[in-house]
């Protein structure tokens, strides 16, 4: 049984784009159904100020040496693939152009992937999907249901692990570098809650008490009615 191979039209077309972002989206849209993906490789600037970016196959990293003993076992997709294209900026910065390189950069040294979701660069969430994910997470929606929502309402290829990672990022952003419990205490204070935090001698938080201002008012009224 022969191994799958890349199609003859593997290289994206030499075209002009209005921005670097539009160019990367276009070449990855070309690459995805053909079994690979592009990532940003080397970026340089010419004496005239024009930028040049090499977009390489996402398996361009060299695999770890089998002869070198590693302390930690990690998986890698890198094969040292040289497949790549060159993106150049116009002098006035208004156009980005895709250009092919030498023939040695037009061949992959691995087989094509079976599905676009195999490529982390193709699974990145758009700003809209990322914002929606954060909103659903903050509303208490389970990660599995969030992934189902994204699959049904967008073109996202995000895996379950991608959803977990983004939820973790959202929580870190909410905490703004603080521990979760300190972030909670500050949030309660900002929203007008009565709160008290109890600390251990070593600075660890051991208890957090909080109450809504209306609840405190009801409690005071109840006490007065009793007496």
Residue 73 has pLDDT above 80, yes or no: no
Q: How far is CA 94 from CA 35, 46, 60, 136, in A?
A: 31, 16, 29, 38
Q: What angle do CA 24, 113, 160 make, to 5 degrees?
A: 80
Q: Is the pLDDT of residue 175 over 70?
A: no
Q: pLDDT confidence of 177, banded at 50, 70, 90?
A: low
pTM of this structure? 0.66
> Alpha-carbon dihedral of residues 94, 100, 101, 103, nearest 10 degrees?
180
Packed helices 127-138 and 143-153: angle between N→C axes, nearest 10 degrees: 150
pLDDT at 102 over 90: yes
- Kindly give the interhelix angle for 160-175 and 180-190, rounded to the nearest 10 degrees: 60
* pLDDT interval class at 70 (50, 70, 90): low
pLDDT of 212 strictly over 80:
no
DSSP state of 8: T
Structure tokens at 76: 């890698």
The whole-angstrom distance between residue 66's C-alpha and the CA centroid of its chain comes to: 30
The pLDDT of residue 167 is 81
> Residue 106's pLDDT band (boundaries 50, 70, 90)?
very high
74 has pLDDT over 90: no
Residue 227, C-beta contacts closer than 8 angstroms, at least 6 positions apart: none
When the pLDDT of each residue in the chain is averaged and rounded to a whole number, the result is: 82
119-172 per-position pLDDT tens digit: 988 988 888 888 888 888 877 888 888 888 888 888 888 888 888 888 877 766
The model's confidence at residue 6, banded by pLDDT at 50, 70 and 90, is very high
Backbone angles phi, psi at 61, to 5 degrees: -65, 145
The crossing angle, in degrees rounded to 10, of helices 127-138 and 160-175 is 70
Q: How far apart are CA 61 and CA 79, in angstroms?
A: 6
CA distance 57 to 119: 10
Distances (CA, A) of 32 to 83, 112, 121, 173: 14, 10, 10, 31
Share of the chain above pLDDT 90, in %: 40
pLDDT tens figures, 35-68? 999 999 999 998 888 999 999 999 999 877 666 6
Whether the predicted pLDDT of 227 surpasses 60:
no
User: Cα 49 from chain centroid?
Assistant: 30
Rounded Cα distance, 117 and 3, in Å: 20
Residue 182's nearest CA partner among 197, 194, 169, 171 is: 197
């Amino acid at each position: 049984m022969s191994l799958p191979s890349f199609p003859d039209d593997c290289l994206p077309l030499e075209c002009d784009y209005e921005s670097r972002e539009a160019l990367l989206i276009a070449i990855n849209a070309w690459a995805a159904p053909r079994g690979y993906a592009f990532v940003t490789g080397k970026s340089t600037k010419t004496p005239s100020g024009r930028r040049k970016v090499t977009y390489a196959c996402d398996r361009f990293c060299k695999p770890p040496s089998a002869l070198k003993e590693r302390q930690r076992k990690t998986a890698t997709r890198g094969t040292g693939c040289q497949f790549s294209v060159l993106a150049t900026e116009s002098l006035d910065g208004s156009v980005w152009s895709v250009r092919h390189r030498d023939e040695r950069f037009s061949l992959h040294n691995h087989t094509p992937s079976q599905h676009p979701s195999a490529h982390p660069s193709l699974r990145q969430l758009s700003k809209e999907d990322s914002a929606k994910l954060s909103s659903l997470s903050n509303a208490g929606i389970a990660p599995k249901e969030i992934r189902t929502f994204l699959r049904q309402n967008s073109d996202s290829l995000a895996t379950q692990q991608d959803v977990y990672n983004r939820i973790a990022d959202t929580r870190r952003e909410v905490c703004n570098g603080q521990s979760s419990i300190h972030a909670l205490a500050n949030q309660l204070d900002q929203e007008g809650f009565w709160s008290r935090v109890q600390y251990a001698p070593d600075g660890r938080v051991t208890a957090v008490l909080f109450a809504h201002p209306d609840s405190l008012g009801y409690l005071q009224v109840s006490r007065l009615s009793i007496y």
